[in-house]
Structure 1
Amino acid sequence: MSKIQILIVEDERLYGDLLCEYLEELGHEPLGPVPTAAQAVALFEALKPDLVLLDIGLRGPVDGVELARQLSSRQPVPLIFITAFTDRPTFERARAVGALAFITKPFSQHTVQNAVELALLNFARQAASSPESEPLTRPPAWEQDVLVRDAFFLKDREGLVKVPYSEALYIEAGEKYCVLVLASGHRYPLRMSLRDAARGLAGQDFVQVHRAYVINARHLEGLDPVGYTVQVAGRTLPLGRSHKDELLRRLNLIDGQGG
């Protein structure tokens, strides 16, 4: 698991430092704060943050709303606007560029935590409803566990944690939920069915190999088509007869060999 990286764009030092403090206490990794749009763009391109917190009233030739447009044009990212303004025109202008949550000054740590979770959840829901997505590969609108970009954003007792796809070995179905097994050996409960997890991971290197297992094919070490088993990072898992052909097809795609 790794920390959620959050870029802070705030030209008031007091608020910028406070956001850093809050985010660190919540277990996230703050980037910045930076006071200008130019610095924000440079840091955004260099580090590719998971989320951006930016002040609407940023001073300079490029304000927060215009900066949000520039960042979103480079790469889709969840945006949270920080503002001392609560008037409707300001809200509408910010919403038009894709803001997923708002924080009004002054703010508390609890407010920041809620905004981060809401923005990540809304970002996943937008991806799920995108007309550019194939119907069978759209992730569901997660209520508890969020799946976006190159990582899982999962909810635990203290908030959200980030799990890169590369660290995931497989997902195993349980009685009431499924369990994500990481390379570290950690087993992480997911509040969703295995079917929903498989749908959400479509388009990544994950493939269902059994009614009770979805594996990360990047960690696949062997396949026994006679004994109907697969080896994943030293673990032997069952291979369902109805899933064997799909696994072989997906492996061809991953290897780039075609049919």
Structure 2
Amino acid sequence: MSPVRVLLVEDEVVFSELLTMHLEDLGYEVLGPYPTAAEAQPVFHAQQPDLLLFDVGLRGEIDGIELARELLAAQPTPLIFITAFTDRETFDRARTVAPSAYLNKPFTALSVQSAVELALQNFVRPDAAAEPDDEPITHWATDMLVRDAFFLKERNMLVKVRQQDVLWIEADGRYSMLVRAGGRKHALRITLRDLAASLPPSSFVQVHRSVIINADHLEQVDPVDGTVTVSGHALPLGRSYKDLLLRRLQQVGEG
């Protein structure tokens, strides 16, 4: 597998050399470093890097913020701003570009690694942000080590949640909201589609483009109104998911 290619634009030699060293030690391929926007622009279009690492305060006519704005308009790409914010105006301008992560000066090897991993994880392409209602999730993994539980990432820990305690999971922008019995919720920094790959198909089924339910808690299906009831809660049932759900349910009595 090819290494992640990072386009590095930093005009302070000390920082650019240090960043290059840290990135290469972590196994990433560095394009650059380049000290100006003019030098970085043709490299971006020719090489199509996997990640952008730009200093906010580049010298010259185009600073890091405007360079990022220009390049992201041409090709959405994960972006990290290298910052040493000293004023509110610069910070507010940087936020308008919606970087995936920030790397504050001075930085360490660990902070570089964390920023890159966070940016790659946070990035959602515009064409993948919405999951069409007519494209059910069909890829499910079955090789989990602990098959009756999940381990959710919360801060720096893995929290065990029993499968039977999960009621449903719904999309919430770049996050997924996992709802447990008793009402406790977990905001997970992962899209619903990516999370689905970790769920066992024997119990979990997608009923809407933004909802996956634990069928063990399914109480009622109303195909006419387009809802399912899970542990007393009414959730939407998408048209594209209705027939698949009904085929998987054991039904008795009159149709």
Question: TM-score scaled to structure 2, two decimals?
Answer: 0.53
- 5 Å-filtered alignment, 1:101-140, equals 101-124=101-124, 130-131=129-130, 133-135=131-133
Cross-structure match for 1:100: 100
Does structure 1 conserve the Cα–Cα contact (< 8 Å) formed by 2:5 and 2:50? yes
Q: How many residues align?
A: 154
Q: Name segments (4+ residues, structure 1) moved above 6 Å.
A: none
* Alpha-carbon offset, residue 104 of structure 1: 1.4
Does structure 2 conserve the Cα–Cα contact (< 8 Å) formed by 1:80 and 1:101? yes
- 5 Å-filtered alignment, 1:1-259, equals 1-124=1-124, 130-131=129-130, 133-135=131-133, 173-176=142-145, 192-193=198-199
* Aligned-pair identity (%): 49
Cross-structure match for 1:202: none
Once residues 138 and 127 of structure 1 are traced to their aligned partners in structure 2, the CA distance between those partners, rounded to angstroms, is 16
Residue 194 to residue 40, structure 1, CA distance change in 2 (3 Å): farther
> Residue type matched to 2:143 in 1?
G
Once residues 172 and 191 of structure 1 are traced to their aligned partners in structure 2, the CA distance between those partners, rounded to angstroms, is 5
Once residues 193 and 136 of structure 1 are traced to their aligned partners in structure 2, the CA distance between those partners, rounded to angstroms, is 20
Residue 193 to residue 86, structure 1, CA distance change in 2 (3 Å): farther
Once residues 89 and 104 of structure 2 are traced to their aligned partners in structure 1, the CA distance between those partners, rounded to angstroms, is 15
Once residues 95 and 138 of structure 1 are traced to their aligned partners in structure 2, the CA distance between those partners, rounded to angstroms, is 34
Cross-structure match for 2:163: none
Once residues 125 and 176 of structure 1 are traced to their aligned partners in structure 2, the CA distance between those partners, rounded to angstroms, is 31
Residue 126 to residue 102, structure 1, CA distance change in 2 (3 Å): farther
Q: Counterpart of 2:98 in 1: which secondary structure? A: coil
Residue 175 to residue 123, structure 1, CA distance change in 2 (3 Å): closer
* Alpha-carbon offset, residue 172 of structure 1: 5.8
Once residues 117 and 11 of structure 1 are traced to their aligned partners in structure 2, the CA distance between those partners, rounded to angstroms, is 23
Tell me the alpha carbon deviations over residues 192-246 of structure 1, each in whole angstroms, 9 at most, x when there is no partner: 2376xxx9xxxxxxxxxxxxxxxxxxxxxxxxxxxxxxxxxxxxxxxxxx9xxxx
> Residue type matched to 1:34 in 2?
Y
Does structure 2 conserve the Cα–Cα contact (< 8 Å) formed by 1:100 and 1:123? yes
Residue 58 to residue 29, structure 1, CA distance change in 2 (3 Å): same
Cross-structure match for 1:256: none
Once residues 116 and 125 of structure 2 are traced to their aligned partners in structure 1, the CA distance between those partners, rounded to angstroms, is 14
Please list every run of 5 or more consecutive structure 2 residues that lacks an aligned counterpart in the other structure.
Answer: 148-195, 206-243, 245-255
> Residue type matched to 2:74 in 1?
R
Q: Counterpart of 1:124 in 2: which secondary structure? A: coil
Does structure 2 conserve the Cα–Cα contact (< 8 Å) formed by 1:9 and 1:54? yes
Does structure 2 conserve the Cα–Cα contact (< 8 Å) formed by 1:20 and 1:33? yes
Once residues 38 and 194 of structure 1 are traced to their aligned partners in structure 2, the CA distance between those partners, rounded to angstroms, is 50
* Alpha-carbon offset, residue 119 of structure 1: 0.9
Once residues 175 and 111 of structure 1 are traced to their aligned partners in structure 2, the CA distance between those partners, rounded to angstroms, is 30
Once residues 16 and 177 of structure 1 are traced to their aligned partners in structure 2, the CA distance between those partners, rounded to angstroms, is 44
Once residues 171 and 18 of structure 1 are traced to their aligned partners in structure 2, the CA distance between those partners, rounded to angstroms, is 41
Does structure 2 conserve the Cα–Cα contact (< 8 Å) formed by 1:127 and 1:138? no
Residue 81 to residue 118, structure 1, CA distance change in 2 (3 Å): same
Once residues 137 and 86 of structure 1 are traced to their aligned partners in structure 2, the CA distance between those partners, rounded to angstroms, is 46
Q: Counterpart of 1:30 in 2: which secondary structure? A: strand
Does structure 2 conserve the Cα–Cα contact (< 8 Å) formed by 1:11 and 1:34? yes
Q: Which has the larger radius of gyration?
A: 2
Does structure 1 conserve the Cα–Cα contact (< 8 Å) formed by 2:8 and 2:33? yes
> Residue type matched to 1:40 in 2?
A
